């Protein structure tokens, strides 16, 4: 690199050559003795700035994301099946009556191959309340003996038969039962109403000895001598009959003055509509 002394000597030589050529020497401005050094320093500084700038890492601007709306969740649609309407058809032509039983008047008939809607059921499950398949009363009762059912009939409500006669029944003494040293009375009950009886309570008295026996049940049981109790009947149906046996006495009831009081109710556990009847008899 040139020194300050060499640069000064070079300027001086230029001035002398100019004077030797003759003519008036131009006025030469006074040279800043520090000019060369200043130029060198500025050059070095510029180089350093350039090197520093090239050494700095390139910083890329982060992309700016515009906000977007979050889509609302799509509701899930649940499909439910509509219960199939309960319908009835028959394997044998079946009459439709104003009540659940053959003692009721006929108001229509469902023929084989026809169907009609079921709108209710009987408490016993043996009769169905349906739309009359013929002209006349809008609804009627059909026996389920030859019936074929489709649709959602399990949820049908129990219907009370229309034109129902008040709850009532008859008592008939059948005879005395005996096995070993046990004696009892056999009784027949007959429904004379349009009601269904489900429970029974009875009290039988030996008026000669002033002893009595009582029993309550949700069925109707008959004892066939020493053969034991037969299969009990769950109901006393409209117009139907059942046989029952009283509780036993430990002595012979022959020729004794006896009385029996029986209560029948349309619901289990002696609830619903209840009727009480009594009779006297001599075995």
Q: What is the pLDDT along the chain (283 residues), one digit of tens a residue?
A: 454 445 555 555 555 555 444 444 444 445 555 554 555 545 555 545 555 444 445 545 555 555 555 566 666 655 555 668 999 999 999 999 988 887 677 899 999 999 999 999 998 889 999 999 998 789 999 999 999 999 998 889 998 776 567 789 999 999 999 999 999 999 999 999 877 899 999 999 999 999 999 999 999 999 999 998 999 999 998 889 999 999 999 999 999 999 999 999 988 999 888 999 999 999 9
Domains (range + CATH), the chain: 87-150 (2.30.30.40), 169-281 (2.60.40)
Q: Tell the burial category of 92 from Cβ atoms under 10 Å away from its Cβ (0-12, 13-18, 19+).
A: exposed
The span from the CA of 95 to the CA of 238, in Å, is 18
Nearest to 159 by CA among 111, 214, 115, 196: 196
**Per-residue model confidence (pLDDT) at position 278:** 97
The residue length of the chain stands at 283
Distance (Å, rounded) from C-alpha 142 to C-alpha 117?
11
User: What's the rounded Cα separation, in Å, for the pair 118 and 122?
Assistant: 11
For residue 248, give the nearest of 187, 189, 177, 200 by alpha carbon.
177
Q: How far is the C-alpha of 161 from the C-alpha of 139, rounded, in Å?
A: 11
Residue 270: the pLDDT is: 94
The pLDDT value recorded for residue 207 is: 97
Q: Please report the pLDDT score of residue 99 as a whole number.
A: 85
State the pLDDT at residue 1: 46
Report d(CA 248, CA 254) in Å as an integer: 13
Identify the pLDDT of residue 249: 97
CA atoms within 13 Å, Cβ hemisphere of 218: 5
Helix axes 35-55, 4-20, angle to 10 degrees: 130
Looking at residue 166, its pLDDT comes to 77
């Amino acid at each position: 690199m040139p020194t300050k002394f060499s640069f000064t000597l070079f300027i001086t030589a230029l001035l002398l050559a100019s004077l030797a050529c003759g003519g008036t020497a131009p006025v030469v401005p006074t040279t800043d003795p520090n000019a060369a050094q200043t130029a060198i320093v500025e050059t070095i500084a510029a180089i350093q700035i350039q090197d520093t700038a090239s050494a700095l890492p390139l910083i890329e601007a982060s992309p700016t994301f515009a906000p977007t709306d979050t889509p609302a969740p799509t509701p899930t649609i649940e499909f439910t099946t509509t219960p199939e309407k309960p319908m009835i058809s028959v394997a044998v032509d079946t009459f439709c009556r104003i009540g659940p039983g053959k003692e009721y008047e006929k108001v229509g008939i469902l023929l084989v191959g026809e169907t009609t809607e079921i709108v209710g059921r009987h408490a016993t499950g043996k009769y169905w309340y349906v739309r009359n398949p013929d002209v006349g009363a809008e609804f009627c009762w059909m026996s389920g003996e030859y019936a074929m059912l489709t649709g959602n009939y399990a949820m049908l409500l129990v219907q009370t038969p229309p034109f129902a006669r008040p709850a009532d029944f008859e008592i008939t003494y059948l005879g005395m039962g005996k096995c070993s040293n046990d004696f009892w009375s056999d009784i027949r009950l007959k429904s004379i109403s349009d009601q269904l009886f489900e429970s029974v309570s009875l009290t039988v008295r030996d008026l000669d000895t002033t002893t009595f026996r009582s029993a309550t049940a949700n069925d109707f049981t008959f004892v066939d001598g020493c053969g034991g109790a037969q299969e009990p009947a769950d109901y006393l149906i409209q117009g139907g009959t059942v046989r029952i046996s009283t509780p036993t006495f430990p002595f012979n009831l022959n020729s004794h003055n006896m009385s029996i009081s029986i209560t029948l109710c349309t619901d289990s556990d002696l609830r619903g509509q209840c009727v009480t009847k009594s009779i006297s008899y001599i075995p």
